[in-house]
Chain A
Amino acid sequence: MKFERQDVDDRTDHARFAEVFLPHLGDAFRLARWLSGSRADAEDIVQEASLRAFKAIRGFGGGDTRAWTLTIVRNTSYSWLAKNRPQSVVLTDDLDTASRERIDQSPSEGGETPETVLIAKIEAEAVRKAVGALPLPFREVLVLRDIHGLDYRAIAEVSVIPIGTVMSRLARARRLLLAAMSGGGS
């Protein structure tokens, strides 16, 4: 066994990549799938994210490997979507206006059918569609919280936003989703 310096470094990079990124491949794929809305796109994104992760692996300074992995997948998703589907990436300013309008227009009066009854009957496909219709920054915090189970602090790290913003976006995301589900049912 010959140990060239470079060889040893490469082996270490591969080993670290295998320990840091690969165990979270399922999470990585899931996040990319929710953010892009398609399995095929998610595969592209995860492959690209894995290249980025590999290049950056020496910079990983320890800590939460899952949050690190998800951060890279999240960032890759954004750049991938900006390149391939620019209309899906909404700026936060636009988003605030857009979402405010949507919240205002949402059928929040309730009516005779309680939201709870409708939600209980939601088909998986309908949830998926409603989540896919959420503006990206809202979808992101919702998925990180409800699919990946990250706490607010971890979401703040992955999405690079203050915890207060995590909280307000999450509240809005759920409100929008609930409105969409109850509105779409009738």
Chain B
Amino acid sequence: MTVSKEDEVLLNAYLDGELSPLEAGRFEERLASEPALAAEIEAYRLLGAALRADSGEDMPPRDLRDRIESRLGIGRLSSGKSRTWGNLAASFLAGAILAGTLTFGALNQQSGDQLVSEVVSAHIRGLMAPAPADVASSDHHTVKPWFNGKLAFAPVVPELGAEGYPLLGGRIDVIGLSPAASLVYARGKHLISVTELPQGRALPAAGSRSEHGYLVLSWSEGGVSYFAVSDAAPEELANFVKLFREAAAAAGRPPA
């Protein structure tokens, strides 16, 4: 074969689409005039096709995933919530549906009502996910810095464990196609999500609403809108919001 080592490398890079458009153009000119190169390219193409065809049957054994999960104790830990892959799949599906809703929301000049729906959806998504928070910690010194670089504002992260609302962590939700900070607290068996949105879009008036069986309390403070979502008893959520606002104000946030 008359193909040099350098040409060999070039030819492979061409085949793999790794040449710049300029380089690729030059190489194609050479291909047209050098049959040895063209023949080699053709051989490599067939080789690649043969390789990919052979790989089709390479599926892992069906029970491999189960074995890995049981070895890592994933089944054991989630048994309390009887989390199964079906559930997980459902939560992915919910995520996909949520993503669809968001696009729809963007097309439709977001109203405040839609924002509330999205906040509730994000809360539900958190309940379905393997963990309700992306950063899990009861320490606001861990949770607050986690949001750095993920948001264009610094969320307030009060600790209300002493008051019976332990902080579980935080996550980023996408509300109205923008990232928002959500904090997750527990109240007995119930979870409370507090979503913080910087203002500058259509926002609902402060108040309470019920959506899909979840109570949403919203308020604004210091240029940020807050939504607390939970299925806890209304008075417990109201008490939580009161404590949250007091703690936030005490933390140096400009009070309302």
Binding site for B on A (CB under 8 A): 1, 3, 5, 7-12, 14-15, 17-19, 22, 25-26, 28-30, 33-34, 39, 42-43, 46-47, 50-51, 54, 108-110, 114-116, 119-120, 122, 124, 127-128, 131, 142, 145-147, 151-152, 167-168, 170-171, 174-175, 177-178, 181
A5-B138, A30-B58, A127-B47 given; 20 more Cβ-contact pairs under 8 Å: A3-B186, A8-B137, A8-B168, A12-B134, A12-B135, A18-B74, A18-B88, A25-B68, A26-B60, A42-B60, A50-B68, A109-B1, A116-B46, A145-B16, A146-B51, A151-B17, A167-B12, A171-B9, A171-B11, A175-B8
> Is B179 in contact with chain A by the CB < 8 A criterion?
no
The one of B52, B72, B138, B169 that contacts A14, using a Cβ cutoff of 8 Å: B72
Nearest chain-B residue to A21 (Cβ)? B68
Q: Do the beta carbons of A3 and B50 come within 8 Å of each other?
A: no
**Nearest CB to that of A29 among chain B residues?**
B60
- Report the nearest B residue to A54, measured CB to CB: B72
B21 within 8 Å of A (CB atoms): no
Cβ proximity bits B65-93 to A, threshold 8 Å, 1 near / 0 not: 10110011010011011000000100000
A interface footprint on B39-68 (CB within 8 Å = 1, 0 otherwise): 100111011101111110011110011011
CB of B159 to closest CB in A, whole Å: 13
Is B105 part of the contact surface with A, judged by Cβ < 8 Å? no
Number of residues from B at the complex interface, CB < 8 A: 53
Q: Kindly report which residue of chain A lies nearest to residue B6, judged by CB atoms.
A: A171
Q: Which of B125-133, B196-204, B217-225 contacts A (4 or more CB under 8 A)?
A: B125-133
Given A25-B64, A152-B16: A12 and B136 interface contact (C-beta under 8 Å):
yes
Given known contacts A25-B65, A171-B9, A178 and B58 CB-to-CB distance under 8 angstroms: no
Q: How many Å lie between the Cα of A154 and that of B49 in the bound state? A: 21
Contact assessment for A30 and B55 in the assembled complex, using a CB-CB cutoff below 8 Å: yes
Query: Is B46 in contact with A114, judged by CB distance below 8 angstroms?
Result: no
Q: Cβ of B67 and Cβ of A171 under 8 Å apart?
A: no
Closest to A119 in B: B46
Is B16 within 8 A of A46, CB to CB? no
A-B contact pairs, 11 of them (CB 8 A): A15-B129, A17-B72, A26-B59, A28-B60, A50-B72, A115-B39, A124-B53, A127-B54, A128-B54, A167-B13, A170-B12
